[in-house]
Protein backbone atom coordinates (compact mmCIF):
# COMPACT_ATOMS: atom_id res chain seq x y z
CA UNK A 1 0.00 0.00 0.00
CA UNK A 2 1.28 3.48 -0.85
CA UNK A 3 2.38 5.82 1.95
CA UNK A 4 -0.25 8.20 3.30
CA UNK A 5 0.30 11.74 2.02
CA UNK A 6 -0.75 14.33 4.59
CA UNK A 7 -1.36 18.06 4.37
CA UNK A 8 -0.31 18.84 7.94
CA UNK A 9 -1.73 22.37 8.20
CA UNK A 10 -5.24 23.35 7.11
CA UNK A 11 -8.00 25.47 8.61
CA UNK A 12 -11.79 25.43 8.47
CA UNK A 13 -14.37 27.94 9.62
CA UNK A 14 -17.91 29.18 9.30
CA UNK A 15 -17.22 32.86 9.00
CA UNK A 16 -18.53 35.29 11.60
CA UNK A 17 -16.79 38.69 11.85
CA UNK A 18 -16.81 38.72 15.65
CA UNK A 19 -15.29 35.24 15.81
CA UNK A 20 -12.39 35.99 13.46
CA UNK A 21 -11.25 39.57 14.19
CA UNK A 22 -7.89 38.85 12.57
CA UNK A 23 -9.63 38.73 9.17
CA UNK A 24 -9.40 42.47 8.59
CA UNK A 25 -10.34 44.66 5.61
CA UNK A 26 -7.28 43.59 3.61
CA UNK A 27 -8.08 39.90 4.09
CA UNK A 28 -11.65 39.93 2.81
CA UNK A 29 -11.01 36.97 0.52
CA UNK A 30 -11.06 34.91 3.72
CA UNK A 31 -14.32 36.43 5.00
CA UNK A 32 -16.47 33.50 3.90
CA UNK A 33 -17.10 29.91 4.94
CA UNK A 34 -14.16 27.58 4.28
CA UNK A 35 -15.20 24.00 4.88
CA UNK A 36 -13.92 20.48 4.17
CA UNK A 37 -15.88 20.10 0.93
CA UNK A 38 -14.07 23.20 -0.38
CA UNK A 39 -10.66 21.73 0.35
CA UNK A 40 -11.16 18.10 -0.66
CA UNK A 41 -10.99 18.62 -4.46
CA UNK A 42 -7.59 20.31 -4.06
CA UNK A 43 -6.27 17.47 -1.93
CA UNK A 44 -7.43 14.90 -4.46
CA UNK A 45 -6.03 16.79 -7.43
CA UNK A 46 -2.58 16.89 -5.86
CA UNK A 47 -2.51 13.36 -4.51
CA UNK A 48 -2.98 14.19 -0.84
CA UNK A 49 -4.79 11.51 1.17
CA UNK A 50 -5.43 13.27 4.46
CA UNK A 51 -5.28 16.60 6.23
CA UNK A 52 -4.72 17.88 9.74
CA UNK A 53 -7.14 20.59 10.89
CA UNK A 54 -5.49 23.31 12.99
CA UNK A 55 -7.28 25.82 15.19
CA UNK A 56 -7.75 29.33 13.79
CA UNK A 57 -9.23 31.01 16.89
CA UNK A 58 -8.99 30.67 20.65
CA UNK A 59 -11.76 28.88 22.50
CA UNK A 60 -12.81 25.35 23.29
CA UNK A 61 -15.69 25.80 20.87
CA UNK A 62 -13.11 25.80 18.09
CA UNK A 63 -11.80 22.43 19.24
CA UNK A 64 -15.30 20.96 19.32
CA UNK A 65 -16.07 22.38 15.87
CA UNK A 66 -12.97 20.82 14.31
CA UNK A 67 -13.58 17.48 16.01
CA UNK A 68 -17.14 17.43 14.66
CA UNK A 69 -15.77 18.02 11.16
CA UNK A 70 -13.20 15.27 11.64
CA UNK A 71 -15.92 12.87 12.73
CA UNK A 72 -17.87 13.57 9.53
CA UNK A 73 -14.87 13.52 7.19
CA UNK A 74 -12.56 10.52 7.72
CA UNK A 75 -9.79 12.13 5.65
CA UNK A 76 -9.37 14.76 8.39
CA UNK A 77 -6.91 12.54 10.20
CA UNK A 78 -6.19 14.73 13.21
CA UNK A 79 -7.11 17.96 14.95
CA UNK A 80 -4.78 20.47 16.59
CA UNK A 81 -7.17 22.23 18.93
CA UNK A 82 -7.09 24.96 21.56
CA UNK A 83 -7.24 24.87 25.32
CA UNK A 84 -6.33 27.49 27.91
CA UNK A 85 -2.92 26.51 29.22
CA UNK A 86 -3.23 29.15 31.94
CA UNK A 87 -6.48 27.78 33.38
CA UNK A 88 -6.16 26.68 37.03
CA UNK A 89 -8.33 23.64 36.23
CA UNK A 90 -6.29 22.70 33.16
CA UNK A 91 -5.97 19.03 34.20
CA UNK A 92 -9.75 18.70 34.36
CA UNK A 93 -10.17 20.51 31.06
CA UNK A 94 -7.69 18.15 29.43
CA UNK A 95 -9.49 15.13 30.80
CA UNK A 96 -12.67 16.23 28.99
CA UNK A 97 -10.91 15.64 25.67
CA UNK A 98 -9.77 12.11 26.51
CA UNK A 99 -12.61 10.55 24.52
CA UNK A 100 -11.63 12.38 21.30
CA UNK A 101 -9.10 10.11 19.53
CA UNK A 102 -8.58 12.52 16.63
CA UNK A 103 -7.48 15.31 18.95
CA UNK A 104 -3.73 14.90 18.57
CA UNK A 105 -2.35 18.29 19.56
CA UNK A 106 -2.96 21.82 20.76
CA UNK A 107 -1.95 25.33 19.72
CA UNK A 108 -2.22 28.87 21.02
CA UNK A 109 -1.63 32.07 19.04
CA UNK A 110 1.51 32.97 20.95
CA UNK A 111 2.29 35.41 18.14
CA UNK A 112 -0.55 37.63 19.45
CA UNK A 113 0.77 37.79 23.01
CA UNK A 114 2.19 41.18 23.96
CA UNK A 115 5.21 39.45 25.49
CA UNK A 116 5.77 35.97 24.07
CA UNK A 117 8.70 35.29 26.40
CA UNK A 118 6.61 36.14 29.45
CA UNK A 119 3.71 33.95 28.30
CA UNK A 120 5.87 30.97 27.41
CA UNK A 121 7.65 31.20 30.76
CA UNK A 122 4.54 31.24 32.94
CA UNK A 123 4.49 28.55 35.62
CA UNK A 124 0.95 27.63 34.57
CA UNK A 125 2.06 27.13 30.96
CA UNK A 126 5.02 25.06 32.10
CA UNK A 127 2.77 22.82 34.18
CA UNK A 128 0.23 22.49 31.37
CA UNK A 129 2.91 21.54 28.86
CA UNK A 130 4.12 18.81 31.17
CA UNK A 131 0.62 17.38 31.29
CA UNK A 132 0.11 17.65 27.52
CA UNK A 133 3.37 15.97 26.71
CA UNK A 134 2.94 13.20 29.27
CA UNK A 135 -0.34 12.28 27.56
CA UNK A 136 1.23 12.19 24.09
CA UNK A 137 -0.22 15.41 22.67
CA UNK A 138 1.89 17.38 20.22
CA UNK A 139 2.07 21.15 20.60
CA UNK A 140 2.24 23.55 17.65
CA UNK A 141 4.37 26.64 18.25
CA UNK A 142 3.04 29.72 16.42
CA UNK A 143 5.31 32.76 16.68
CA UNK A 144 6.56 35.65 14.58
CA UNK A 145 10.22 35.67 13.62
CA UNK A 146 11.11 38.24 16.31
CA UNK A 147 9.71 35.82 18.93
CA UNK A 148 11.83 32.87 17.85
CA UNK A 149 14.43 33.32 20.59
CA UNK A 150 11.71 32.96 23.23
CA UNK A 151 10.25 30.01 21.33
CA UNK A 152 13.65 28.29 21.22
CA UNK A 153 14.01 28.59 25.01
CA UNK A 154 10.49 27.20 25.42
CA UNK A 155 11.22 24.27 23.13
CA UNK A 156 14.42 23.44 24.99
CA UNK A 157 12.48 23.24 28.28
CA UNK A 158 9.75 20.92 26.97
CA UNK A 159 11.34 17.83 25.46
CA UNK A 160 9.05 15.00 26.59
CA UNK A 161 7.12 14.88 23.31
CA UNK A 162 6.89 16.48 19.88
CA UNK A 163 6.82 20.24 19.34
CA UNK A 164 5.98 21.55 15.87
CA UNK A 165 7.16 24.96 14.66
CA UNK A 166 4.48 26.37 12.38
CA UNK A 167 5.27 28.31 9.21
CA UNK A 168 9.05 28.06 9.65
CA UNK A 169 8.90 30.76 12.30
CA UNK A 170 7.50 33.27 9.78
CA UNK A 171 10.68 34.52 8.07
CA UNK A 172 10.57 38.27 7.30
CA UNK A 173 10.20 38.07 3.52
CA UNK A 174 7.97 41.08 2.86
CA UNK A 175 9.91 44.03 1.51
CA UNK A 176 13.30 42.53 2.33
CA UNK A 177 16.16 40.96 0.44
CA UNK A 178 17.18 37.55 1.76
CA UNK A 179 20.43 38.95 3.07
CA UNK A 180 18.78 41.56 5.31
CA UNK A 181 19.58 41.86 9.01
CA UNK A 182 16.06 40.71 9.92
CA UNK A 183 16.50 37.51 7.92
CA UNK A 184 19.93 36.98 9.43
CA UNK A 185 18.40 37.25 12.90
CA UNK A 186 15.66 34.78 11.89
CA UNK A 187 18.25 32.28 10.65
CA UNK A 188 20.32 32.63 13.81
CA UNK A 189 17.31 32.10 16.07
CA UNK A 190 16.11 29.16 14.00
CA UNK A 191 19.48 27.45 14.36
CA UNK A 192 18.94 27.24 18.10
CA UNK A 193 16.39 24.53 17.30
CA UNK A 194 18.88 22.35 15.40
CA UNK A 195 20.07 20.34 18.45
CA UNK A 196 16.50 19.70 19.67
CA UNK A 197 15.39 16.42 18.04
CA UNK A 198 11.86 16.69 19.43
CA UNK A 199 11.20 19.87 17.43
CA UNK A 200 9.96 19.50 13.86
CA UNK A 201 8.95 22.17 11.38
CA UNK A 202 6.06 22.75 9.00
CA UNK A 203 7.01 24.21 5.64
CA UNK A 204 3.79 26.18 5.46
CA UNK A 205 2.59 29.75 5.27
CA UNK A 206 5.57 31.15 3.39
CA UNK A 207 3.67 32.65 0.45
CA UNK A 208 1.80 35.01 2.78
CA UNK A 209 5.03 36.22 4.39
CA UNK A 210 5.96 37.87 1.07
CA UNK A 211 4.54 41.09 -0.41
CA UNK A 212 1.67 38.94 -1.67
CA UNK A 213 -0.68 41.87 -2.26
CA UNK A 214 1.40 42.79 -5.29
CA UNK A 215 1.40 39.21 -6.54
CA UNK A 216 4.21 36.70 -6.16
CA UNK A 217 7.31 37.84 -8.04
CA UNK A 218 10.38 35.94 -9.17
CA UNK A 219 12.31 37.45 -6.26
CA UNK A 220 9.71 36.08 -3.85
CA UNK A 221 10.13 32.61 -5.24
CA UNK A 222 13.90 32.86 -4.86
CA UNK A 223 13.50 33.98 -1.24
CA UNK A 224 11.08 31.16 -0.47
CA UNK A 225 13.48 28.60 -1.93
CA UNK A 226 16.28 30.05 0.17
CA UNK A 227 14.14 29.78 3.32
CA UNK A 228 13.29 26.17 2.50
CA UNK A 229 17.01 25.49 2.16
CA UNK A 230 17.61 27.03 5.60
CA UNK A 231 14.91 24.75 7.02
CA UNK A 232 16.59 21.70 5.50
CA UNK A 233 19.94 22.76 6.92
CA UNK A 234 18.55 23.38 10.41
CA UNK A 235 16.13 20.50 10.81
CA UNK A 236 17.31 17.91 8.31
CA UNK A 237 14.90 16.02 6.04
CA UNK A 238 13.38 13.85 8.79
CA UNK A 239 12.13 16.84 10.81
CA UNK A 240 10.18 18.62 8.06
CA UNK A 241 6.57 18.27 6.94
CA UNK A 242 4.35 19.83 4.27
CA UNK A 243 1.44 22.07 5.18
CA UNK A 244 -0.55 24.20 2.75
CA UNK A 245 -2.02 26.68 5.28
CA UNK A 246 -5.24 26.54 3.26
CA UNK A 247 -7.31 28.72 2.98
CA UNK A 248 -5.00 31.47 4.26
CA UNK A 249 -2.51 30.62 1.51
CA UNK A 250 -5.08 31.57 -1.14
CA UNK A 251 -4.47 35.23 -0.37
CA UNK A 252 -1.19 34.81 -2.22
CA UNK A 253 -1.53 31.64 -4.32
CA UNK A 254 -4.04 28.87 -5.01
CA UNK A 255 -3.59 25.48 -3.37
CA UNK A 256 -1.92 24.10 -6.49
CA UNK A 257 0.52 27.00 -6.56
CA UNK A 258 1.62 26.43 -2.97
CA UNK A 259 1.88 22.69 -3.51
CA UNK A 260 3.87 23.27 -6.70
CA UNK A 261 6.42 25.54 -5.03
CA UNK A 262 7.17 22.99 -2.34
CA UNK A 263 6.97 19.98 -4.66
CA UNK A 264 9.51 21.49 -7.04
CA UNK A 265 11.88 22.24 -4.14
CA UNK A 266 11.44 18.78 -2.60
CA UNK A 267 12.06 17.02 -5.90
CA UNK A 268 15.39 18.83 -6.20
CA UNK A 269 16.53 18.40 -2.60
CA UNK A 270 15.09 15.19 -1.12
CA UNK A 271 15.61 11.52 -1.87
CA UNK A 272 12.66 9.17 -2.29
CA UNK A 273 12.98 8.02 1.33
CA UNK A 274 13.22 11.60 2.56
CA UNK A 275 10.14 12.54 0.56
CA UNK A 276 8.24 9.69 2.22
CA UNK A 277 8.88 11.40 5.55
CA UNK A 278 8.25 14.90 4.27
CA UNK A 279 4.92 14.23 2.56
CA UNK A 280 3.39 12.25 5.41
CA UNK A 281 5.68 10.12 7.52
CA UNK A 282 6.88 12.84 9.85
CA UNK A 283 3.38 14.27 10.35
CA UNK A 284 2.09 10.77 11.10
CA UNK A 285 4.85 10.21 13.63
CA UNK A 286 4.35 13.51 15.45
CA UNK A 287 0.57 13.33 15.55
CA UNK A 288 0.32 9.58 16.13
CA UNK A 289 -1.30 8.56 12.83
CA UNK A 290 -1.13 5.47 10.65
CA UNK A 291 1.16 6.00 7.64
CA UNK A 292 -0.46 3.56 5.19
Domain ranges of the chain: 6-287
- What is the pLDDT at residue 113? 97
pTM here?
0.96
10-residue stretch averages of pLDDT, the chain, 292 residues long: 85 95 91 98 98 97 98 98 97 96 98 97 98 98 97 98 98 74 93 98 97 91 96 98 98 97 98 97 94 55
- Determine the pLDDT at residue 1: 38
CATH architecture for the domain at 6-287: Alpha-Beta Barrel (3.20)
Question: How far apart are the C-alpha atoms of 31 and 33, rounded to whole Å?
Answer: 7
**How far, CA to CA in Å, does 98 sit from each of 117, 137, 147, 208?**
30, 11, 32, 35
At residue 277, the pLDDT reads 97
C-alpha closest to that of 51 among 237, 197, 241, 273 = 241
Amino acid sequence: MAALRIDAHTHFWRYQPEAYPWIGPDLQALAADHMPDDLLPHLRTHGMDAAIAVQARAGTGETRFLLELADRHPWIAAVVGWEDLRAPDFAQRLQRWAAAPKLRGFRHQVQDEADASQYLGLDAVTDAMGQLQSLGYAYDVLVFNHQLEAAARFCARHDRHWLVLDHLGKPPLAGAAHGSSALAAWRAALRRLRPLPHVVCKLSGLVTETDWRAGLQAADMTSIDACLDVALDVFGPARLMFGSDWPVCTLAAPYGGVYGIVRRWADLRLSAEEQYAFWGGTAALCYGLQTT
